[in-house]
Structure 1
Amino acid sequence: MINMAVRDDGGNVMARAEAGVRWTDAFADLDPAGFPMLQALTPHGDAVFNQRQIPLLLAELDRLPAVLAGDWVGQARELGRVVERGTHLYLWFIGD
């Protein structure tokens, strides 16, 4: 399971998602040219997105294949908006 949280520069958690991302091989099958942000997700590592990367990530979520949909998508959008509204905030996807 990949968890999601917004952290500040000091690593403090500012917001956290209730849903996590269930890893499937469908993530690995995403076209890297069409989904460069989501290509950063791995089941066991962390991926961090800054304020400038969030619009790209949100655009990718809008065209995500249905097989990868779930509660996590809406929560990722909400956390992305927290990052966009703040300063020195980052959206973390935290692998196992």
Structure 2
Amino acid sequence: MVVRGDLGNVVARAEGGVEWTAAFADLGPAGFPMLWALTPYGDAVFNQRQVPLLLSELDRLPAACGGDWVGQARELCQVVERGTHLYLWFVGD
């Protein structure tokens, strides 16, 4: 996970990444539209208007999907919210 500016410059970086478990398959688009966009192999990008929705979903995330990455994602969301022209990137393999 990284926060990037409009020019692709990295502003902040997480130490780890999402810990993929089988429980992610149970997150449907109706209840978790932001997290549902994540895949282990592709990139997902969230802008400043989407970050509050993502934070709300992180608050409701089942424990089976949790881990250190959740706190790191929250911190990066705050970076995006405080800045301008910043985007939170979940970078797939």
TM-score interval w.r.t. the shorter chain?
over 0.9
Q: Which residue does the alignment assign to 2:22? A: 25
RMSD across aligned positions (CA): 0.7
Helix, strand or coil: the match of 1:82? helix
**Identity percentage over the alignment?**
81
Unaligned runs of 5+ in 2: none
For 1:50 and 1:95, the matched residues in 2 are separated by 17
CA deviation map 1:26-80 (0-9, x unaligned): 1121121110000110010000000000000000000000001111001100000
For 1:56 and 1:6, the matched residues in 2 are separated by 17
- Paired residues, number: 93
Which of the residues 76, 93, 96 maps onto 2:90? 93
- Which residues in structure 2 correspond to 1:11-90 (within 5 Å)? 11-90=8-87
Question: TM-score w.r.t. structure 2 length?
Answer: 0.97
Give, as a single letter, the amino acid of the residue that structure 2 aligns with 1:82. V
For 1:87 and 1:8, the matched residues in 2 are separated by 8
Which structure is higher in helix share?
A: 2
Unaligned runs of 5+ in 1: none
Q: Which runs of 4+ in 1 moved over 3 A?
A: none
Helix, strand or coil: the match of 2:2? strand
